[in-house]
Amino acid sequence: MKALITGIGGQDGYYLTRLLLKEGVTVFGVARDQERARRSLGEVSSQVTILSGDLAQSGVWPSLLSEVKPDEIYNLAAQTSVPRSWQDPVLSARSTALSVLEALAAIRDSAPKTRFFQASSSAMYGEARESPQTEETPFFPNTPYGTAKLFAHYAVINFREGAGLFAVNGILFNHESPFRSPNFVTRKITLAAARIAAGKERKLKLGRLDTIRDWGFAGDYVRAMRAALRADAPTDYVIASGETHSVREVVEIAFGRLGLNWKEYVETDSAFYRVAEADRLVGDSSRARRLLGWKPTVSFRALIEMMVDRDVERVARGEDEAE
């Protein structure tokens, strides 16, 4: 079996690649920066064929399918920064929405038996009309990123129902790991805590501490991706922990892990407030638990402590300077 992973250089690619390699799957990846993707994958990079490609550019998918001939595609690539999607909404649409449409059309035309997983996002719910959110909850995105994700989400449904493709949406709620970019708030906090404990930083500035999210472990979520593509029939799944926690709780656990009083180091700054902030996102993953036998295994506290411990190691080796 051959699998093609777009966005293989991200945290989900890190865990999914390892999961598939253990099963004996031949893994191909697509990345704009091949060398960076190899560094991100670490010791398993030599077992993966990484192809260069910018999915925001038109015409990439037919050649990818012709070269790789994958049995499965995991589309993890997207412009994932909400602030950046406001800065350049057109690029966000091209890389996150139109690239998926092109992928599905190419699969329909030349590889209709290839199975396709789309990494949808809880950002599609935006100002959610109900809580918790399920697959049937109405979408109301309030950012260009969420809107682009929603376009891709419905494209998957269209090609599944209209063209008979085995195409699946995984509506992924926030999921983190030690390999998350420091551009995201959880990793920003754990890295700063490690640097402060080492005397390399004095203060951490954050936006709203009372922002609430449903956070899970990326390693758990890629298991759901794999299970969704191996199911008997294609459908859509909410992938979430079902628990809510605040940014304040992340801070408390991260600094507490290092014996620090976070109130001495953390400041709020309105410069870090988002233009549009979803009020309360929490997912109901009952369908995934029932049909896929999936459930999360890493608790919120264990996740944050795992991230802190890894960042402490990075700081001790001086690897934090590159981030």
- Tally of residues, the chain: 323
Q: Does the pLDDT value for residue 6 go beyond 90? A: yes
Q: What's the pLDDT score for residue 275?
A: 56
Residue with tokens 């709203």: 208
Average pLDDT score, the chain = 94
**pLDDT category of residue 57 using cuts at 50, 70 and 90:** confident
**pLDDT category of residue 319 using cuts at 50, 70 and 90:** confident
Token output for 6: 């777009």
**pLDDT category of residue 39 using cuts at 50, 70 and 90:** very high
Residue with the bigger pLDDT between 153 and 78: it is: 153
**pLDDT category of residue 272 using cuts at 50, 70 and 90:** low
**pLDDT category of residue 279 using cuts at 50, 70 and 90:** low
Task: Note whether 198 and 316 are within 8 A (CB).
Answer: yes
The mean pLDDT of 97-111, rounded to a whole number, is 97
Ramachandran assignment for 25, one of left (phi > 0), alpha (psi -120 to 50 degrees), beta (any other) = beta
Domain positions in the chain are 2-175+215-239, 181-213+244-276+300-322
Q: What's the pLDDT score for residue 87?
A: 84
The CATH code of domain 2-175+215-239 reads 3.40.50.720
| Closest by Cα among 253, 269, 235, 88 to 176 | 253
**pLDDT category of residue 104 using cuts at 50, 70 and 90:** very high
List of residues 6+ apart from 54 with CB closer than 8 A: 32, 60
pLDDT in tens, 178-235: 999 999 999 999 999 999 999 999 999 999 999 999 999 999 999 999 999 999 999 9
**pLDDT category of residue 86 using cuts at 50, 70 and 90:** confident
Q: Does the pLDDT value for residue 284 go beyond 90? A: yes
**pLDDT category of residue 79 using cuts at 50, 70 and 90:** confident
Q: Does the pLDDT value for residue 276 go beyond 60? A: no
Question: Rounded to whole angstroms, how far apart are CA atoms 210 and 218?
Answer: 23
Q: What's the pLDDT score for residue 274?
A: 62
Q: What's the pLDDT score for residue 278?
A: 56
Question: pTM for the complete prediction?
Answer: 0.93
The mean pLDDT of 140-155, rounded to a whole number, is 95
Question: Is CATH 3.90.25.10 the classification given to domain 181-213+244-276+300-322?
Answer: yes
Residue with the bigger pLDDT between 84 and 172: it is: 172
Task: Note whether 178 and 15 are within 8 A (CB).
Answer: no
**Amino acid at site 253:** I
